[in-house]
A and B are shown apart, each in its own frame.
Chain A
Amino acid sequence: MSNTETFYQVMRRQGITRRSFMKYCSLTAAALGLGPAYALQIAHAMETKQRTPVIWLNGLECTCCSESFIRSAHPLVKDVVLSMISLDYNELLMASAGHQAQAALEASMENHWGQYILAVEGNPPLNEDGMFCISGGKPFVEKLKKSAEGAKAVIAWGSCASWGCVQAARPNPTQAVPIDKVITDKPVIKVPGCPPIAEVMTGVITYMLTFDRIPELDRQRRPKMFYSQRIHDKCYRRAHFDAGQFVERWDDDNARKGYCLYKVGCKGPTTYNACSTVRWNEGISFPIQSGHGCIGCSEDGFWDHGSFYDRLTNVNLFGIEKNADRVGMAAAGVVGTAIAAHAAVSAIKQTTQRKKKEAEQERNS
């Protein structure tokens, strides 16, 4: 593909009208939480800038990130984003395979050294020298490191690349690690979720392409515009939470009434993601709307926190897996018993000493 084409040219070539193009720009600006003026800036950038090469790697993962990405809701988005970026290497979507694919990767890295965005789906397992994930005949971790060297920025797609996800859940036999454990000298943008929301993914990419910089990140390196609030903060069932109206059991009347799912383990209060605002599948729904609590899939280690259906999740201390109340009540019980026993002995001591004193006094008098 030629590198001199701008995004806009590509879009026009694909038969997208200018009107649709402008619509896309304003939608994107809105999705990114930017003011209307930015729509023009986005349009301008798209008209003048060259497409940015993106290399998309897949490590240990389930491909749900890719699946989500290609379902980006606004009909234009997937066309636009897929043509906007020059997706030079993506095992899922590219036509070539084997040596051809390998050659495409190498060519792209060579031609755009220092210029491309590395998007990583999945993560590298480090155990047994990385032999649990082989790609192109070599451990994935080597491919990852090599591609990261020439990258301008690195995007960690999904919970695998960001936190480790299911393959890194205890006891993590393959020693799968989040990619920022391996790529330490480049900015890594984390876009967690299992998978992340499609519009969030395209939003992050669009931002990076139009403004030529990485979006503002929070402490855990997630883009603030999509991850600065919890599901709970914008949940439409929140009124029931504040009122104290909960689904007590899955088959009760409260479940039918759409009450808050807190007591059946909804992790909305501790999960940072955009599901309750952006929603899924063209904004149709999201887990809570379809009656199931949030499982916290965009949070670090969400597999290792006990049941998805408990509000109080487990502590893993010294091999014990119990929730805080079990641990606390047991400890309070032990201390309480000790106090009772101590009090009993004290009472006996007090009485015997008093008796002795009285006897002494009697003897003296």
Chain B
Amino acid sequence: MALEKNLTPEDSHERVRRQTAVYVYEAPVRLWHWITAFGVLTLVITGFLIGRPPPSVSGEAIDHYLMGYIRFAHFAAAYVVTLAFIGRIYWAFVGNHHSRELFLVPIHRKRWWGELWHEIRWYLFLERTPRKYIGHNPLGQLIMFGVFVVGMVFMIITGFALYSEGTGVGSWQDQLFGWVIPLFGQSQDVHTWHRLGMWFMVIFVLTHVYVAVREDIMSRQSMTSTMLSGWRLFKDDRPD
């Protein structure tokens, strides 16, 4: 959201947007962001190789464990990312109000829609000047939820369903996620969808990184450094 909630309507625009720095991302959120970033990178690389393994190694089988390590790295990263994601959901309850932006898209607010429209026009080069936002801009927020959160949940559910095939009937993974396999048809279908999900995440990452870099350069607030320090810096003190 563009506005701090606790400010009175009259002075809010002026005061907030004149500030040059606002603390947005608390430490756990930043930590989660980077754990997830490296985790997903690992998952994409190892996942790609699970479906298309590297060229065969030579020698005796007992001397190698290449696929084993690739799969182990995938599963280890999967657990880290999943636990971090659960931690992130917890933080949405106890953290500052920006920490909820990822999960709650305020589609019931008129102002949000107005800003969304503005943001779409800005990305279509129809607006000359961008607006200032403390948290996510509405378009960013929508994509964060609709692509990232939904994508992650999908990958975690299909991933653990595949994992349950290894841990076996009756394991907790099977009890929690085993139903996914007949839902998709059979195991091979879950593999295919999990792999499509990887490409979905790759596309998200491409867009996410591009937009962050572009906003850093072209918008009126900091992006990348905010995810490192937590502070949103504004480049000018014009309101709005």
The stretch from B57-65, B107-115, B138-146, B221-229 touching chain A is B57-65
Shortest C-beta distance, A262 to chain B (Å), equals: 7
Q: A137 at interface (Cβ–Cβ under 8 A)?
A: no
- Given A248-B56, A324-B195, A350-B217: A335 in contact with B66 (beta carbons within 8 A): no
**A272 CA / B128 CA spacing, docked (Å):** 60
Q: Which residues of B contact A243 (CB under 8 A)?
A: 57, 61-68
A339 at the interface (CB under 8 A from B): yes
Residues of B within 8 A of A343 (CB): 210, 214
1/0 contact string of B97-134 vs chain A (CB within 8 Å): 00000000000000000000000000101001000000
- A315 vs B210: C-alpha distance in the bound complex, in angstroms? 29
Instruction: Please give, as numbers and ranges, the residues of chain B lying within 8 Å of A269 by CB-CB distance.
Output: 187
Q: Is B83 at the interface (CB under 8 A from chain A)?
A: no
B207 within 8 A of A: yes
Q: Which of A317-345 contact B (CB under 8 A)?
A: 323-325, 327-329, 331-332, 335-336, 339, 342-343, 345
> Is B185 part of the contact surface with A, judged by Cβ < 8 Å?
yes
Q: Does B9 contact A (CB under 8 A)?
A: no
Interchain CB contact (< 8 A) of B198 among A241, A296, A323, A328: A328
Give Cα distance in the complex from A155 to B193, angstroms.
Answer: 31
Q: How far is the CA of A315 from the CA of B194 in the complex (A)?
A: 12
Q: Quick check: is A246 within 8 A (CB to CB) of the other chain?
A: yes
Q: Let me know if A99 is at the binding interface, CB within 8 A.
A: no
Most buried by B among A224, A230, A244: A244
B165-181 vs A: 1/0 string, CB under 8 Å? 11011000000001101
Inter-chain contact A229/B168, CB cutoff 8 Å: yes
Q: Which of B25-33, B46-54, B231-239 contacts A (4 or more CB under 8 A)?
A: B46-54
Stretch at the interface among A5-13, A24-32, A71-79, A297-305: A297-305
Shortest C-beta distance, A264 to chain B (Å), equals 12
Q: Are A228 and B168 in contact, with the CB atoms below 8 A? A: yes
Q: What residues of chain B lie closer than 8 Å to A336, measured between beta carbons?
A: 206
Cβ-defined partner of A346 (8 Å) among B65, B166, B214: B214
The answer on a CB contact under 8 Å between A312 and B182 is no
| B192 CB–A CB distance under 8 Å | yes
Q: Which residue of A lies closest to B63 (CB)?
A: A243
Q: Are B67 and A219 in contact (CB under 8 A)?
A: no
A342 contacts across to B, CB distance below 8 A: 123, 210, 214
Residues 192 to 220 of chain B near chain A (Cβ within 8 Å): 192-193, 195-196, 198-200, 202-203, 206-207, 210, 214, 217-218
Is A245 an interface residue, CB under 8 A from the partner? Answer: yes
Listed by A's residue number, 19 A-B pairs whose Cβ atoms lie within 8 Å are A224-B169, A230-B165, A230-B187, A239-B62, A245-B64, A248-B56, A263-B53, A296-B188, A300-B185, A313-B192, A324-B195, A325-B51, A325-B195, A325-B199, A328-B196, A328-B199, A335-B207, A339-B207, A343-B214
Residues of B within 8 A of A (CB): 51-58, 61-68, 70, 123, 125, 128, 165-166, 168-169, 178-179, 181-182, 185-189, 191-193, 195-196, 198-200, 202-203, 206-207, 210, 214, 217-218
The 5 lowest CB-CB distance pairs between A and B, nearest first, are A328-B199, A244-B66, A270-B187, A324-B195, A243-B64
Q: Given A242-B66, A270-B186, A300-B186, list of 18 further CB < 8 A pairs? A: A228-B168, A228-B169, A241-B67, A242-B65, A244-B57, A245-B61, A246-B53, A296-B188, A305-B188, A313-B192, A325-B52, A327-B199, A328-B198, A328-B199, A332-B203, A335-B203, A342-B210, A350-B217
Q: Which residues of A approach B to under 8 Å, CB–CB? A: 218-220, 224, 228-230, 233, 239-246, 248, 254, 259, 262-263, 267, 269-272, 296, 299-302, 305, 311-315, 323-325, 327-329, 331-332, 335-336, 339, 342-343, 345-346, 349-350, 353
